[in-house]
Chain A
């Protein structure tokens, strides 16, 4: 056997393994098209089904129209858009301060033993299904808002329109906001915690070495590095809050009106879809209107997600260098 023959016989098992590798790469590539095609499919399908109503009504009528009477062919989304906006805003106002403080504590103060207790607690909070949050809201938050929070706030702050309402029940924007806040907190904490961990310890040590307190270190060395990431985390959290359906639906009252106070009931877009879709499909344009609501949600969430993901990706990539 010559040398070249020898190498040939050594190489014979190789090609099949190499072919397998190439084949796997090709099929993996096809698989990686799935998420991209799926995003496109969802956008296109919802768009196609929304189009009839966009052809029948002007977009300003839809967005700023105040009356919602599907039977008469009136589809004004304004109360629902505002309802979504109010509930999400209240939730975020309540959720952001404790989330950031908890994330900072986890990332900067907590010892690893403390952390190993705190993290599972947050995971549990994130694992609770939204229907269970809804039941909790119904049993605990709605009566609390009705019996304590509302009388108290109306009494002392009632002169501000935001805190006075005719609504006799506790089913309100505030109740929805509180439940939603508890739901998104673990999420915002997780994202901001990850972001804060990307700051190299050298920065902290430098600040501590010149005599800064822990909080000064966070303020001057950590936060400036990760501010965009923290904002991205909050934006991601609010896009979660925007789309949350069941829990909010159960406590927010579902009255299609333009709210003027946090004690007013509201009717957010996801609740509108969940309550009506699949039922009255025989009414003309109704189905297109509801899918239009879904399309609107999708677009808002898409914009929020893409922007915050780009910011977060830049941050994590930089930290990996």
Chain B
């Protein structure tokens, strides 16, 4: 005789499973809700001027102009910071992953990286500002790039090192067996194998930098013009959103939503782009 056992544990199982699926639905729902909110509120004020013009006279009172200054400014800031961060992160991650591996020194360096990674961006901003004051620098593109690079390099190093660890040990050993040194192995074998991962890591850090406001708040300043030198203040998208929201004019606030939409679009583009690129580059990898 067949008898179905329907115990308490089965009820528990289905309750927990339902809760899990529900949590995920809430998460996905929040993501959808955020994107839809930004899209609906941002679209009405979207027009070509927004992305092709800098603020004209009376822009912050609702007159014409756009936020090209902030778009270009953000790209300059995040681009410069990413280049600087690569210079430190890539060698550091290779060193940690291929030279040091799990030695005591490596763990100390990693702990320092983890600490840096966890420091809030507002603290980086405050730190950057004190250094700036001490050096007598003014708020500028250069200062913004430096602070954002500080913010980016722990993120990038950690992401790249994760990729270094994924490189098959056999591949490295094969390279050593042929007589290559650790440097040659790191540069010619490991780096090539990690290329898709490196690209993803760089784009991840770039995306983080372009969306960060608290760190550049004090150090980059704000300007209605596109900077022509490293020593001029520069606008950024997150701050453009923030400042426009702070005005009492509905037209300007509507533009803040449009600016938020532009920022979101850029960030999502980077996110999808990195996924696509890493899939594409992933074809050249020895699995």
Contact = CB atoms under 8 A, between A and B. Distances in A.
A42 B127 contact: yes
Contact of A250 (B95, B119, B183, B245): B245
A81 to B, nearest CB: 15
B235 interface: no
A278 B27 contact: no
Interface stretch (A33-41, A67-75, A159-167, A257-265): A33-41
A231 interface: no
Interface in A292-320: 294, 297-298, 301-302, 304-306, 309-310, 313, 317
Given A132-B264, A245-B214, 15 more contacts: A32-B96, A38-B116, A39-B115, A42-B127, A45-B131, A101-B19, A135-B38, A215-B13, A216-B12, A250-B245, A270-B122, A277-B217, A302-B119, A305-B115, A305-B117
Contact of A132 (B115, B119, B263, B271): B263
A309 B111 contact: yes
Interface string A104-145: 110001000000001011111101111111111011100000
B129 A21 contact: no
A32 B211 contact: no
Contact of A36 (B24, B26, B109, B129): B109
B238 A129 contact: yes
25 contacts: A18-B181, A31-B95, A32-B92, A32-B95, A35-B113, A45-B127, A98-B23, A101-B20, A105-B21, A109-B20, A118-B24, A125-B31, A127-B270, A129-B264, A138-B245, A139-B257, A246-B214, A270-B120, A274-B122, A277-B125, A277-B126, A278-B129, A290-B126, A297-B122, A302-B118
A138 B117 CA distance: 28
A57 interface: no
B120 A243 contact: yes
B224 interface: no
Given A21-B182, A35-B109, A42 B24 contact: no
Contact of B108 (A17, A36, A130, A135): A36
Given A31-B95, A32-B92, A132-B263, A121 B31 contact: yes
**B interface SS class:** helix
Contacts of B27: 98, 102, 121-122, 125, 185-186
A34 B131 contact: no
B123 A42 contact: yes
Nearest to B132: A278
A236 interface: yes
B154 A35 contact: yes
Interface stretch (B47-55, B58-66, B99-107, B225-233): B99-107
A277 B263 contact: no
A89 to B, nearest CB: 17
Interface in A135-183: 135-136, 138-140, 182
B218 A278 contact: yes
A34 B87 CA distance: 12
A135 B207 CA distance: 18
Contacts of A131: 211, 213, 238, 241-242, 260, 263
A285 B19 CA distance: 51
B211 A243 contact: no
A234 interface: no
Given A39-B112, A140-B33, A140-B37, A135 B245 contact: yes
Interface in A17-71: 17-18, 20-21, 24-25, 28-29, 31-32, 34-36, 38-39, 42, 45-46, 49
Interface string B1-14: 00000000110110
Interface of B: 9-10, 12-13, 16-17, 19-24, 26-28, 30-31, 33-34, 37-38, 41, 88, 91-92, 94-96, 99-100, 102, 105, 107-127, 129-131, 150, 154, 157, 181-184, 207, 210-214, 217-218, 238, 241-242, 245, 256-257, 260, 263-264, 267-268, 270-271, 275
Q: Which of A131, A244, A250 has the most CB of B within 10 A?
A: A131
Contact of A20 (B10, B17, B125, B181): B181
A309 B114 contact: yes
A38 B119 CA distance: 12
A-B complex: 4 closest residue pairs judged by Cβ atoms:
A243-B120, A129-B211, A98-B23, A21-B181
B38 A240 contact: no
B37 A305 contact: no
Contacts of A317: 102
Contacts of A305: 114-115, 117-118
Contacts of A124: 31, 268, 271
B229 to A, nearest CB: 22
Interface string A252-281: 000000000000000000100110011000
A36 B270 CA distance: 31
Nearest to A49: B130
A31 B91 contact: yes
Contacts of B114: 305-306, 309
B138 to A, nearest CB: 12
A216 B94 CA distance: 42
B129 A306 contact: no
A214 interface: yes
Contacts of A25: 99, 182-183
Interface string A208-237: 000001111000000000000000000010
B268 A127 contact: yes
Contacts of B33: 136, 140
Q: Which of A123, A129, A216, A305 has the most CB of B within 10 A?
A: A129
